[in-house]
Amino acid sequence: MLDLKEKTINEEWQGEALERENPNSNGRKVYIESYGCQMNFSDSEIVASILEKEGYQTTRLMEEAEIVFVNTCSIREKAEQTVRKRLEGFHKVKRKKPEMIIGVLGCMAERMKTKLLEEEKLVDIVVGPDAYRDLPELVKEVDGGRKAVNVILSKEETYGDISPVRLGGNGVTAFVSITRGCDNMCTFCVVPFTRGRERSRNPESIVNEVRDLSEKGYKEVTLLGQNVDSYLWYGGGPKKDFDKLTKEEQDSSVNFAQLMEMVAQVDPKVRIRFSTSHPKDMTDEVLHVMAKYDNICKYIHLPFQSGNSRILEMMNRGYTREWYLNRMEAIRRIIPDCAVSADVITGFCSETEEEHQDTLSLMEEVKYHFSYMFKYSERPNTLAQRKYEDDIPEEVKGRRLNEIIAMQQKHSLERMKADVGKTLEVLVEGVSKKSDQELFGRTTHNSVAVFPRKDYKIGDYVMVKIHDCTSATLIGTAV
């Protein structure tokens, strides 16, 4: 039971260092380590691109770097604790190498700037998600003997004109950011405060980036945003509220369904995924586009957070249990073979045992392929922290989480067993961790499949006959 929990959490909170040669190097090497969501990893590629143009070179070895950046996450307390331990470790290295510059990027930057810079003196630079263009100048400030900070949030910045440096990846899959920030104001979430208001990126720049990835041999692109479904671009620029646009602006606007169709048409051999969807904004139009194009993966990550409408209202999620199940019915009707995963938070403020059972019953009704499952973690300055009491004992949160994990593990195994005997298309992403004689890849449903290596290589599409499975992996043979 605990194995699934640990695997799920570790997959989400893994760190990654990036490296690439720079022919125009100024001799200074930068080590970038990323934590948290896919958006942070995508942002690190933007940072690398900005720095590369100034002559910096990325390295995988922290020991040989003159500058160390940690791209951080504040979504849960555990994520912040992980980053703080890393910063303390880097600070010990700095004592022996005082010329080394340590910087914090991303979501922790705005929230903890004073503490990191002045109280604990762990870092030299603090930079928020909308200020990465300023990094070269901030490094110069530190070179001049000053601490440097820029955490100003923007209503316009999308980095749409920057071509990310693809680092640390497999050369097969890539992330493309389509929105930044979030307007949803869920009461438990810090993202609107750390990443600012939502703004959409010019669709032409998105299509061009996907086309460039296709020409470079990438086989799968994931469109990223805190809420991809609310993507909206009109002729005059990014704007959120469609109803307030003029008739001319509405006629020239591009919504998420239209953007996804544009992207799918770039190259039918490039798979398209997207994350994350919000139930209140997911339209049938999006689902029909998914059904129309074979290269749009039949997989949706649709967080529900709680199966109880009272708790959902306290979370300010903008939908009820009934609305969520209506969206699930639409998915099953329009894309019958669609896999669905979810996020769930247990132990939110004042959650009763009956309301916890509502979460379990919703899971039983949907039977998700997999889920990200967490105990409620109160985050400073959120509406929930200001308005509600975090009154569920930790042992109760832990017991409820274990019940959710046990149910998800049962459903994951059921979903995997349903694929045994089928022949599925798998995009090869790498060599199996358990054996160099096996390859692994993902199906359209985002399920991991392993099979004997033979003469296949990373980036190949392979038809795999599935003959066995675990709750997390399909096992098969290429046919």
Using one digit for the tens of pLDDT, what is the confidence trace for 302-311?
999 999 999 9
Question: What pLDDT does residue 81 have?
Answer: 84
Question: What pLDDT does residue 238 have?
Answer: 63
Q: Centre a 10 Å sphere on the Cβ of residue 71 and count the other Cβ atoms it contains.
A: 30
Mean pLDDT in residue range 145-170: 87
**E strand or H helix that includes residue 8:** helix 2-12
What are the tens digits of pLDDT across the range 359-408? 999 999 999 999 999 999 998 889 999 999 999 999 999 999 999 999 99
pLDDT bin (cut points 50, 70, 90) of residue 236 is low
Superfamily of 173-417 according to CATH:
tm_1862 like domain (3.80.30.20)
Beta strands in 209-322 (DSSP E): 220-224, 232-234, 237-238, 254-255, 271-275, 299-301
Report angle CA 157, 161, 167 to the nearest 5 degrees: 100
The residue whose two tokens read 């910096």 is: 56
Superfamily of 423-478 according to CATH:
Nucleic acid-binding proteins (2.40.50.140)
Lowest mean pLDDT among 72-86, 323-337, 373-387: 72-86
- Strands 339-346 and 173-177 come out as unpaired
> Could you write out the DSSP letters of every residue in 328-371?
HHHHHHHSTT-EEEEEEEES-TT--HHHHHHHHHHHHHH--SEE
Question: Is the pLDDT confidence value at 10 over 50?
Answer: no
Considering just the CA atoms, what is the radius of gyration of the chain in Å? 22
Q: Can you tell me the distance from the alpha carbon of 243 to that of 52, in angstroms, rounded to the nearest whole number? A: 41
Per-domain residue ranges of the chain: 7-150, 173-417, 423-478
Mean pLDDT in residue range 14-27: 55
Q: Are the C-beta atoms of residues 302 and 340 closer than 8 Å to each other? A: yes
Question: What pLDDT does residue 243 have?
Answer: 80
**In this predicted model, which residue has the larger pLDDT, 37 or 152?**
152
Mean pLDDT in residue range 313-331: 98
State the virtual CA torsion across 30, 36, 39, 40 in degrees, nearest 10. Answer: -20
Q: Can you tell me the distance from the alpha carbon of 98 to that of 111, in angstroms, rounded to the nearest whole number? A: 26
pTM: 0.88
Q: What is the mean pLDDT of the chain?
A: 90
Check residue 378 and report its DSSP letter.
-
* CATH code assigned to 7-150: 3.40.50.2300
Question: What pLDDT does residue 12 have?
Answer: 35
Q: Can you tell me the distance from the alpha carbon of 301 to that of 401, in angstroms, rounded to the nearest whole number? A: 20
